[in-house]
Amino acid sequence: MRGFTLVEIVVALTLVSLIMLGLLGALRGLGDSSARVSQVSDRVADMRLISDFLRRAFAAAEPLAQVPPENSAVPATPFFRGDPDAVVWVGDFPARFGTRGLHFMRLRLIPDASGLALALDYLPYSGPHGAPDWTHSRTHLLVGSVDSFSLAYQEDAPGASWEQKWNSEQLIPRRMKVSVQASGRYWPELIYRLRSP
């Protein structure tokens, strides 16, 4: 019975090495795919959580009047300010997030370590007179690494168009649209219905 020659052993080891390299490459690819799937899953979960939070916050918007000082000729107007890149309103803060009762709320972009972040400022509602003092507000970061952010508003009328700025002194908008691009990816457009006056 003859043994293996040196050439046969070298060929066999080479084939085994190639098979092992292929397996290692496949395992590395599987690991990378798993990491990417996990990242996408985390991002989708974050989107859902933030969308749900904003839906509840905007749905609880109250058309409360901001009353001017006595002897003022300025009429009372709803406390709602809508700009293309920020919105301020009064609403009942969702209880499940740890704070209850009416609050002044402001959604806006702020600088952070990654560039820009979408943040919600809030502080307890102090009544219809005057404006909130945002220096005493608490801030909750919603989304980091924001590339772009815009808001649009729509009144409650058939065929109403989306406006970049809300100018009505009598009503709060019926719907709001939030557009976000974060970490190089666009979120689906988020459209929220506000409480009727």
Kindly state the average pLDDT of the residues 184-191: 84
Could you tell me how many helices (H) and strands (E) the chain has, helices first? 1, 11
> Count of domains in the chain?
1
Question: pLDDT tens digits for 91-124?
Answer: 887 666 566 778 888 999 999 887 898 898 988 8
Contacts of 47 (CB under 8 A, 6+ apart): 187, 188
Distance CA 11, CA 29 (A): 27
What's the chain's average pLDDT? 79
pLDDT band at 35 (very low <50, low <70, confident <90, very high): low
Structural domain of residue 89, as residue ranges?
Answer: 50-193
The answer to whether residue 137 sits within a structural domain is yes
In this predicted structure, what is the pLDDT of residue 39? 59
- The answer on pLDDT for 77 being more than 90 is no
**DSSP secondary structure letters along 106-149:** EEEEEEETTEEEEEEEEEE---SBS---GGG-EEEEEESSEEEE
The answer to whether residue 87 sits within a structural domain is yes
pTM of the model: 0.72
The answer to whether residue 167 sits within a structural domain is yes
Cα atoms in the 13 Å half-sphere on the side-chain side of 179: 9
